[in-house]
Amino acid sequence: MTVEQNVLQQHSQKHQQTLLNQLREVTGTTDVQLLQQALQVSNGDMAEAVAFLTEKNAKVPQQDETTYYQTSQVASDRYISVGSQADTNVIDLTGDDKDDLQRAIALSLEESNRAFRETGITDEEQAISRVLEASIAENKASLKRTHTEVWSDSPNPHDRKRIESCPVGLKNVGNTCWFSAVIQSLFNLLEFQRLVLNYSPPARVHDLPRNQKEHRNLPFMQELRNLFSLMVGSKRKYVDPSRAVEILKDAFKSSESQQQDVSEFTHKLLDWLEDAFQMKAEEDREGEKPKNPMVELFYGRFLAVGVLEGKKFENTEMFGQYPLQVNGFKDLHECLEAAMIEGEIESLHSAENSARSGQEHWFTELPPVLTFELSRFEFNQALGRPEKIHNKLEFPSMLYMDRYMDRNREITRIKREEIRRLKEHLTLLQQRLERYLSYGSGPKRFPLADVLQYAMEFASSKPVCTSPVDDIDSSAPPGGTTGQPLPLPSTAEQDCLPPLESASLVSSPTTAPPAAQPQPQQQQQQQRVPIHKPFTQSRLPPDLPMHPAPRNITEEELSVLEGCLHRWRSEVENDTRDLQGSITRIHRTIELMYSDKSMMQVPYRLHAVLVHEGQANAGHYWAYIYDPHQRCWMKYNDISVTKSSWEELVRDSFGGYRNASAYCLMYINDKKPFLIEEEFDKETGQILSGMDKLPPDLKQYVKEDNELFDKEIEEWDILQARKAQQEKLALVAAAAAASAASNTSTSSSSPQPMSIESSPPDNAAPQQDPEYMEQPSPTNDSKHLQEDTERAISRAAAEQQERSPEALLNAAIKLEYARLLRFAQEDTPPENDYRLQHIIVYFIQNQAPKKILERTLLTQFADRNLAFDERCKSIMNVARAKLDLIKPEEVNMDEYEMWHQAYRNFRDTTVFMVTGLEFFQKTNYMEALMYLIYSYQYNRELLSKGLYRGHSEELLGHYRRECLLKLNEQAAAMFESGEEPEVTTGLGIMNELVVPCIPLLLIHETERDLLAVEDMRNRWCSYLGQEMESNLQEKLTDFLPKLLDCSTEIKSFHDPPKLPTYSTLELCERFSCIMAAVCRASSEGR
């Protein structure tokens, strides 16, 4: 055979395999012979082949409901070949349902084939183009939106600063969580990381690309190097992969979009990387067979041994990601065993020339990185859409592959045969055990040992024959009465009554006094008239036993029967124990079948698990990756990178719990440590880390990006300092204006001997105090504070012998401080918070410096509104003079302002909380949400500085959570109505209010918040399996990725709700009322 003939044959096989894959994906038919028959009948025409298969399936009668709803799995390729040996097309099955499915499929295939002939771009590449375009469009659109977005970066660059050497996250630029999960898994393979970072493009890259692959792959390879270098040395907490995604998007042109599939993307990504390294390898080794590092790292080979129509064959095939079916299996080994054997394989081992067909797969060469694709989606032919399989599937952290190796073929076959024999025996034993544990021939069955025990208890029971009427004391009068009992009816009459009526007549004597009782004849008539006897034929026999028991049994019979029953029960219990022991031993034997050392020589350790949460057509991806240096699992969820545990991985990855399950498993050869080992400096022998890992060009690239980030931080700090300075200047200007106004008013009356405003020192602080200290006019706040001050002065005057203003001031300050100290130390109910009544209480509880307390109290006694008599006026003047005499080194005014700002923040947080709780009590959840969100965030910041700086975090967290759940319930109810305005309003509530707040519940990972998020997601995911209008299905599909996105990036709300203005008294009253209502609601809930 010539080279040209060989190439043509390979191309023909590739084309036929591609057509088979398309037919299998579209129709759900897994019968290879039927698929080949369809291609032969249609002469390779895909439209006719689909029509042939759909018509053939339509002729199958629907026997019952079970058959109708039975689904067939979307089969994947058994192998993924390297380079151009096989190009697997993947058909998108996640679109809207069509009335004429067959016609739509045919048109789609015709369009796909025409596009491939014209452009050379496969359907798979077009599908990836669609999702990349959607991602980029979403990212660009986010820059134009005015309302708050979930993915908006924090304006404060300090929030985006990397903490020491923590791993760098990847920003989700619009439905690209699949990209982040795959890239992080590959990046943490240090050998792969080194290959990418040290890749240098071929010399001819500077010339015009010779083909489309070079035009696509080489720029992408450079952007991947840039991305990896930022992940190594960036000062940012997370980096933006948009440029790499942009390169991928520009490779193809399409207008449609969908969320990308992890295994599909990984497959194509490795193909592109393989092409890029192949170009370099061909240039470096001209004349020799080039080695491709991507192939050596990710691709292996297996031997397909089988029989086709009685003829034996052996073929060696190459694979990358190895597909495994999940449905019907409980663990990874069961999946592998099923994947390695297809069809009836008995003829493989026999010398007879059988016509049976089947094949076995035996690995001849395993790659260092072994990736399993778990097929968790199947196409429901009845519903015409894909569905996700949520079944539980366990997998080990250490996987031994010896039993699947070709060199162990014979011993594995022997062990498989032994396991098959043991399982057959196990089935028989379990059937025998079931007969003991479920004994009987009727619908209700019981353990045989219990049946014998019940029979023994029945035989041993003694009959107690007592009439129900005999148990009733008819002679006893009712409590508290002395009346005589009614005469009993005659025996005949009593026999005609049902038991309850008879008992009621006997036990219910009249309570009338003896003089008022009727004559016996009249009494008898009154008793007979109302008697109703519907159950006359159901009266109880007088000798009915009180409990089941033999009527007649002799001691000799009882002795014999008890002996037999006891002996039989002992025999049954022994047999049951023996069967259970045998079953346990067989299970143990099967488990240990491959545990000998000869079958534990090919260990593969779990490196990464890619998890999908959601349904077939919507969801979110993240990755668990093992860190061998810290010896712990890390969770990579877009921008969030956190420490995790094996227990959390199991919960999220095995499936069967929530809607999350593993979708892709990445194992690495445990005997090849170079895969995860750090690189050492050849001269010093030190481990290379950070920027030292990078080649010169990437060092410069990262250095420039870090300089930009440093500049951003510096500009932010300058801006914040400028804002703070402007605020101070504004306060000074306001104080000066107030002083001028005061001077004008005082000059028209009488001159003051000591005017604070007349000549303030250069270093004096602004004299305008906040509303809780002093007001320019006598408001409610200043009146309240004025009354407290006047009471302190009056008490000081009464107790103090020296009547000078300074002595009175000192005494009054001491009395006021003592009063406020008692408030600060007093245990109060939740509805009474003294911190709201006076700033000094807040300062005392939070251990403010003494100088801050003294100056604050002086400011209180320097209030101009005290000047209603000469004594208070003189004390006020002394206080203001003392304020003037305080030197800058005595009281740090920055610290003084910081403490007063902290108290203003506390009051603002309280107003947010009170307003939000009031709206919540009125069931106005939309208005309440923003107030509760801001109160929780501000309160958390306060509590981070001290226990008494804020309110109960648990209380605010509860109402924040409940408000979101209530809104979610309202929005879900609107969506369920199906009415267009209601649906739009409901989804608007979710998109504008609920979804942006979900990261706030996820960031701290409290159990109740996580459960609330899970409840909200489950409510919306439950709609996926329901029938609904196509427009509702489309809206739900667009909405769910936003809801299921697990990123913990905190969204910044640009416009906090406006705060109502409350005086101190009004705020205390409102706080007291709402807290009392909250306490009542809490006690009623308990």
Looking at the annotation, which residues are catalytic?
A: 177, 612, 620
The 3-state secondary structure of 984-1026 reads HHHHHHHHHHHHHHHHHHHCCCCHHHHHHHHHHHHHHHHHHHC
Q: Which two tokens stand for residue 671?
A: 């005997």
Q: What separation in angstroms does the CA of 16 have from each of 75, 301, 307, 316, 672?
A: 16, 21, 20, 18, 38
Pick from 837, 812, 810, 805: nearest CA to 823? 837
- The DSSP code for 758 is T
Please give the order of strands across the beta sheet that includes 341-343.
311-319, 300-308, 358-365, 341-343
Residues 350, 300 contacting (CB under 8 angstroms): no
Q: How far apart are CA 217 and CA 382, in angstroms?
A: 41
Please spell the DSSP secondary structure of 390-440, one letter per residue: ----B--SEEE-GGGBGGGHHHHHHHHHHHHHHHHHHHHHHHHHHHHHSB-
Residues in contact with 624: Cβ distance below 8 Å, sequence separation at least 6, in sequence order: 608, 609, 611, 633, 634, 635, 636, 644, 648, 649, 652, 653
Q: Are 1002 and 1046 in contact (CB under 8 A)?
A: yes
Which three-class secondary structure state does DSSP give residue 821? Answer: helix
The answer to whether 922 and 822 have CB atoms below 8 angstroms apart is no
Tokens of 306: 């089988």
Residue 121 φ then ψ, to 5°: -100, 130
Q: For residue 838, what are its two tokens?
A: 């006076």
Q: How many CB atoms lie within 10 A of CB 678?
A: 13
How many angstroms separate the CA atoms of 693 and 233, rounded?
9
Name the CA dihedral angle for 876, 879, 885, 890, rounded to a multiple of 10 degrees.
-150
Query: Between vectors from CA 63 to CA 59 and to CA 65, what angle results, nearest 5°?
Result: 120
Bridge partners of 625? 608, 634
CA-CA distance, 5 to 617, in Å (whole number)? 43
Q: Please state, in angstroms and rounded to a whole number, the distance separating the CA atoms of residues 1046 and 614.
A: 11
Angle at Cα 263 formed by Cα 210 and Cα 321, nearest 5°? 85
C-alpha distances (whole Å) from 243 to each of 42, 175, 223, 238, 1070 are 45, 15, 7, 14, 53
User: H helices then E strands: how many in the chain?
Assistant: 35, 17
- The whole-angstrom separation of Cα 651 and Cα 662 is 10
For tokens 């996820």, the residue is: 1002
Q: Read off φ and ψ for residue 259, nearest 5 degrees.
A: -80, 135
Q: Provide the 3-class DSSP secondary structure of residue 135.
A: helix
DSSP for 208-237?
--SSHHHHHHHHHHHHHHHHHHHHHH-SBS
Task: Label residue 309 left, alpha or beta by phi (over 0 means left) and psi (-120 to 50 means alpha).
Answer: left
Residues 6+ apart with CB under 8 A from 469: 494, 499, 502, 503, 506
- Residues 6+ positions from 674 with CB-CB distance below 8 Å: 191
The DSSP-derived string for 312-370 is EEEEEEEESEEEEE-TT-SBHHHHHHHHHEEE--HHHH-SS-----EEEEEEEE--SEE
